[in-house]
Chains A and B, each alone.
Chain A
């Protein structure tokens, strides 16, 4: 047998940093929305206590981990600290993740193109995707959010303006 040099994929430093930042922000925003938005709150209420899910990229992250600790208590656990994960949402590779988080490709399209793997319960995965859709609508301007979700929702101005302000405030301050 010949000798072969080990080849590893490029590190894509800037993409990795951008994704890590977005996951940090979205993770905190999910926690914020779980307190501020009735639909997100309702989705989390349906999860059992201790339910933990993760969204990340193959082969080695980055990723974010969210846990419902108790009713009304949702925690962002950063990259995770060895918790048992009930639901793993994994994007095939960093480049695909970058396309999703830079809104060049919607979550639905990414899923249809087999870039997203679900390891865990499908009903829970559906709920998490709905939560992330709502959070994206809060965080992004309409023109960009329309690229990320299948259908931009019709919300009251109160939910759009007030809800968005609260979600942003809680995301940034962590309160």
Chain B
């Protein structure tokens, strides 16, 4: 066990997990003194029929006063302002976020606006700006990845400066998280893969970065074990309800782990790729995860080596000498990505040059790597990375991740 000398650990979200968990929402909201919820979702979630399932679970006990379903792929400030206005207009008193990370983050942003009766969300950017509890917020994740239902942060894009802004406060934690596998059953295999690897990255960075502690380690280990066991089978067989519930629980565990330990350079770079090139977060995470572990190997290698047990199982762990376990973990993650690439018929990208936009053009042009590296230096997660990461380091990692080649360890500065 790694004892950091001091740590604190908190998770104040009531989590309800079952095959029929949605049915509990009206009673849970009533306990919080709310009766007029607004549902926030995106078009994809509505088209998949998921909002209809939630509405059915709410009515007739507590029908939704309004449904706002126009959240973009990357949550942004303009959308938050617009939905906050609608919330006041409809006389709502609670929020139900039905969606992935973008919807959750948008709902958290809206909650800041409506609770603080604010004019501009940007006034609340940063850490610890919020000073009091917000309106009741129920989080219903429709992907098993972000863990946003149990995190105290929101990342919201400000298009005017092309940067993702961080909002962090314990008051941003949702009051209730609903894990119901009906919400992820229709998720296509490539999105299941990317979001699953997002959760995997949360757990692995929580375990290997500077903020790790024994309690978050326990959550991270279980999350890694569940994802390793269930992700590929669920991608191959999307209607596996038990597997879906296991992945939802894993994402939740990983969310709790990284909320308390924070994350490192995989997120530092991933946020920047998302901000500059609008690549989905899960895709960035799955590509960058092996690189982050390689880059930090001289600092956090022993912790990375310990992860071989939940990732590859007892037999492989026991058969691998201690000094080779970290490298084996990285190799296994690359194989895992390769397996997901095959299972999704090439839609799960292994490197940034494979990522394309909807019209088939490259999403991450090589010329953008400099901008990505520069933007990364302003991301808060950089504080928690075991090794320093300057512009040259970030660019080197991005170039390798673009090509899909392992890091040349001779160029990793160790002192």
Among the listed B6, B377, B413, which residue makes an inter-chain contact with A114, where contact means beta carbons less than 8 Å apart? Answer: B6
Q: Is B379 an interface residue (CB 8 A)?
A: yes
Please determine whether A112 and B378 come into contact, CB atoms closer than 8 angstroms. Answer: no
Q: Is A150 an interface residue (CB 8 A)?
A: yes
Residues of A close to B388: CB separation below 8 A: 149-151
The stretch that binds B, out of A2-10, A53-61, A62-70, A121-129, is: A121-129
Q: Is A119 an interface residue (CB 8 A)?
A: yes
Q: Size range of the interface on A?
A: 20 to 34
Bound complex: CA of A126 vs CA of B8, how far in Å?
Answer: 23
Please determine whether A151 and B211 come into contact, CB atoms closer than 8 angstroms. Answer: no
Q: Is B233 an interface residue (CB 8 A)?
A: no
Interface 0/1 of B361-402, CB less than 8 Å to A: 000000000000000011110111011100000000000000
- Chain B, 252-293, CB within 8 A of any chain A CB: 262
Interface 0/1 of A149-163, CB less than 8 Å to B: 111101000000000
Query: Whole-angstrom distance from the CB of A101 to the nearest CB of chain B?
Result: 18
Q: Is A108 an interface residue (CB 8 A)?
A: yes
Which A-chain residue is minimally distant from B7 (CB atoms)?
A113
Residues of B close to A115: CB separation below 8 A: 6
Which B-chain residue is minimally distant from A118 (CB atoms)?
B127
Please determine whether B415 and A152 come into contact, CB atoms closer than 8 angstroms. Answer: yes
Interface 0/1 of B210-238, CB less than 8 Å to A: 11000000000000000000000000000
Please determine whether B4 and A122 come into contact, CB atoms closer than 8 angstroms. Answer: no
Q: Is B129 an interface residue (CB 8 A)?
A: yes
Q: Is B125 an interface residue (CB 8 A)?
A: yes
- Chain B, 400-415, CB within 8 A of any chain A CB: 413-415
Q: Is B163 an interface residue (CB 8 A)?
A: yes
Please determine whether A108 and B7 come into contact, CB atoms closer than 8 angstroms. Answer: no
Bound complex: CA of A32 vs CA of B380, how far in Å?
Answer: 26
Query: Whole-angstrom distance from the CB of B9 to the nearest CB of chain A?
Result: 10
Bound complex: CA of A112 vs CA of B5, how far in Å?
Answer: 11
Which B-chain residue is minimally distant from A105 (CB atoms)?
B5
Please determine whether A122 and B8 come into contact, CB atoms closer than 8 angstroms. Answer: no
Please determine whether B378 and A108 come into contact, CB atoms closer than 8 angstroms. Answer: no
Q: Is B23 an interface residue (CB 8 A)?
A: no
- Which residue of A108, A112, A115, A127 has the most chain B CB atoms within 10 A of its CB atom? A112
Bound complex: CA of A118 vs CA of B127, how far in Å?
Answer: 6
Q: Is B126 an interface residue (CB 8 A)?
A: yes
Residues of A close to B380: CB separation below 8 A: 118, 122, 125-126
Please determine whether A117 and B127 come into contact, CB atoms closer than 8 angstroms. Answer: yes
Q: Is A111 an interface residue (CB 8 A)?
A: yes
Please determine whether B383 and A126 come into contact, CB atoms closer than 8 angstroms. Answer: yes
Please determine whether A129 and B383 come into contact, CB atoms closer than 8 angstroms. Answer: yes
Please determine whether A122 and B379 come into contact, CB atoms closer than 8 angstroms. Answer: yes
- Known contacts being A108-B210, A112-B211, A126-B379, is A151 close to B387, with CB within 8 Å? yes
Which A-chain residue is minimally distant from B376 (CB atoms)?
A126
Bound complex: CA of A155 vs CA of B175, how far in Å?
Answer: 50
Bound complex: CA of A150 vs CA of B415, how far in Å?
Answer: 9
Q: Is A174 an interface residue (CB 8 A)?
A: no
Bound complex: CA of A126 vs CA of B7, how far in Å?
Answer: 22
Please determine whether B387 and A150 come into contact, CB atoms closer than 8 angstroms. Answer: yes
Nearest 3 CB-CB pairings of A with B: A123-B378, A151-B388, A112-B210
